[in-house]
Amino acid sequence: MTLLSLESVTARHGLLTAVPEMSLKIAEGETLALVGANGAGKSTLLRTIAGAHPAAGGRILLDGTDITARPAHERVALGLALVPEGRRLFPGMTVAENLAVAARRAREGPWSLTRVYDTFTVLAGLRDRRASELSGGQQQLTAIARALLTNPRLLLIDEVSLGLSPVAVDAVYETLTTLDSRPTLLLVEQDLSRALDVAGRVICLLEGRIALSAATGDVTREQVTEAYFGLR
């Protein structure tokens, strides 16, 4: 079943068209990796889906409902959650306070504060730590936990591993891939090997357009790299 459908979605920054007329379907339950060079339009696309950036054209449908004109908080209520680039936690607030804010706006679903602390045991030990005092990996886990608490049907994560140590990246992916009640996932991942490892499908963006879309089992790393650099 199609969960998210983009129909000729365009996103602009002033005069620059970052994403021209993108059409894309995401099926319920799939893990999709979005890759592409700096400036390819990955963040703009995620932010447009989440309602953090306006669509300049086209339609965004979530489970058949047109959400193109809905503000971000309504999209959260309908099951879309974004872990933005840079995490955007409240730095002066503790882990518990950051999570409590999300829990207040949660949809009905499997994720509760108790479940989050049972799953993210590291965070249980850091409950009273300010977000600004966490390591990058701990911040990323907190941001993912915060998004899960809204009980999303589709979880969008921008730059999963950017700025994290290899150990932290392993920890984040270990958590993501072993979650019970895992939502449908759209991940932006700079590390191609990692993207091909965790996702069922990979999409490579080049200047806002889909240069390649394939099941990860059907493409080689070399083919994705060629698409990345516009060589195919």
Find the part of the chain contacting ligand ATP (CB under 6 A) among 12-20, 25-33, 72-80, 140-148.
Answer: 12-20
Find the part of the chain contacting ligand ATP (CB under 6 A) among 42-50, 63-71, 111-119, 170-178.
Answer: 42-50
User: Can you tell me the distance from the alpha carbon of 148 to that of 108, in angstroms, rounded to the nearest whole number?
Assistant: 12
**Single residue of 16, 69, 101, 231 touching ligand ATP by CB under 6 A:** 16
For the CB of residue 158, give the shortest distance to ligand ATP in the complex, in Å.
7
For the CB of residue 171, give the shortest distance to ligand ATP in the complex, in Å.
22
For the CB of residue 56, give the shortest distance to ligand ATP in the complex, in Å.
12
Find the part of the chain contacting ligand ATP (CB under 6 A) among 33-41, 92-100, 119-127, 148-156.
Answer: 33-41
Residue 38 as a binder of ligand ATP (CB under 6 A): the answer is yes
Strand partners, 10: 57
Find the part of the chain contacting ligand ATP (CB under 6 A) among 32-40, 65-73, 140-148, 222-230.
Answer: 32-40
Residue that the structure tokens 């602009």 belong to = 12
Residue 18 as a binder of ligand ATP (CB under 6 A): the answer is yes
Find the part of the chain contacting ligand ATP (CB under 6 A) among 9-17, 88-96, 123-131, 172-180.
Answer: 9-17
Residue 42 as a binder of ligand ATP (CB under 6 A): the answer is yes
Residue 102 as a binder of ligand ATP (CB under 6 A): the answer is no
- In 3D space, the residue among 177, 168, 118 whose CA is nearest the CA of residue 140 turns out to be 168
Left (φ > 0), alpha (ψ -120 to 50) or beta: where does 210 sit?
beta
Residues touching ligand ATP, count (CB under 6 A) = 12
Residue 39 as a binder of ligand ATP (CB under 6 A): the answer is yes
Q: Are 13 and 43 in contact (CB under 8 A)?
A: no
For the CB of residue 32, give the shortest distance to ligand ATP in the complex, in Å.
15
Binding site for ligand ATP (CB under 6 A): 13-14, 16, 18, 36, 38-44
